[in-house]
């Protein structure tokens, strides 16, 4: 499971660019771990030992065939692993693309919701301001009317009182004059 991630990264890049997944034999061999190189070195050492020990040709051919089979098995394993991971990446790339679209839609909806909230707040504030202004104007008008009415009543009372006082004064003066005249007349008769 340690092989193929670099190759799969390239595959994912190709997939995003519209390409198809490819797990070709040469490319799979390019992404093998260093263990394969060690295996090749071990095979070379085995071949040298075989040559030094003068094994017969049949045994050498059998060993070479076994090594080729092992290499083929390794290549098959690498290819299968690459393909399985390629399929996994394909599915996950599609998933992440959908997730990105969902996030983009969520951002748009959030922005629109914020704009709507701001507009609603502005409208509400404007309505409140208008209502407050109207209430203040009405209160001021009522106060002015009440004050005017009170002033009128007070003026009427003052004027009425003044008239009454003037009438009483006139009556008092007339009565006094009459009394004086009567007294003078009586005194003249007596004398």
For the chain, the domain total comes to 1
49-74 pLDDT tens trace: 555 555 444 455 555 555 555 555 55
Domain that holds residue 62: 5-130
pLDDT for the residue numbered 99: 63
pLDDT for the residue numbered 180: 87
Quick check: is 86 in a domain? yes
pLDDT for the residue numbered 84: 72
Quick check: is 135 in a domain? no
pTM as predicted: 0.35
pLDDT for the residue numbered 4: 43
pLDDT for the residue numbered 27: 41
Torsion of CA 16, 17, 19, 21, to 10 degrees: -30
- The Cα 84–Cα 86 span in angstroms is 5
Quick check: is 186 in a domain? no
The two counts, helices (H) then strands (E), for the chain are 4, 0
pLDDT for the residue numbered 117: 93
Q: CA 186: distance to chain centroid?
A: 112
- The Cα 85–Cα 25 span in angstroms is 15
Quick check: is 62 in a domain? yes
Q: Which residues contact 131 (CB under 8 A, 6 or more apart)?
A: none
21-59 pLDDT tens trace: 455 544 444 444 444 455 555 555 555 555 555 544 445
Residue 125 reports pLDDT greater than 50: yes
Rg (CA), the chain: 59
Quick check: is 140 in a domain? no
Quick check: is 90 in a domain? yes
Quick check: is 81 in a domain? yes
> Over the range 127-157, which residues count as b (16 or more CB within 10 Å of their CB) and which as e?
eeeeeeeeeeeeeeeeeeeeeeeeeeeeeee
- The Cα 74–Cα 81 span in angstroms is 10
pLDDT for the residue numbered 119: 92
Query: How would you classify residue 116: left for phi > 0, otherwise alpha for psi between -120 and 50, otherwise beta?
Result: alpha
In the block, residue with structure tokens 């519209």: 18
155-174 pLDDT tens trace: 999 998 898 999 999 999 99
79-117 pLDDT tens trace: 677 767 767 766 666 665 666 667 777 788 888 889 999
Cα–Cα nearest to 50, from 36, 42, 35:
42
Quick check: is 179 in a domain? no
């Amino acid at each position: 499971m340690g092989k193929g991630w670099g190759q799969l990264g390239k595959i994912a890049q190709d997939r995003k660019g519209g390409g198809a997944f490819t797990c070709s034999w040469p490319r799979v061999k390019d992404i093998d771990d260093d263990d394969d190189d060690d295996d090749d070195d071990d095979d070379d050492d085995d071949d040298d030992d075989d040559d030094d020990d003068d094994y017969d040709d049949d045994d050498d051919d059998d060993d070479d065939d076994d090594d080729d089979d092992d290499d083929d098995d390794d290549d098959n394993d690498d290819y299968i692993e690459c393909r399985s991971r390629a399929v996994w990446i394909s599915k996950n790339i599609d998933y992440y693309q959908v997730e990105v679209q969902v996030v983009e839609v969520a951002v748009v909806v959030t922005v629109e919701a914020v704009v709507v909230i701001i507009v609603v707040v502005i409208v509400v504030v404007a309505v409140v301001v208008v209502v407050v202004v109207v209430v203040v104007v009405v209160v001021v008008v009522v106060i002015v009317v009440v004050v005017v009415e009170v002033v009128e009543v007070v003026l009427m009372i003052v004027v009425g009182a003044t008239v009454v006082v003037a009438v009483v004064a006139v009556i008092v003066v007339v009565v006094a004059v009459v009394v004086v005249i009567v007294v003078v007349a009586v005194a003249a008769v007596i004398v």
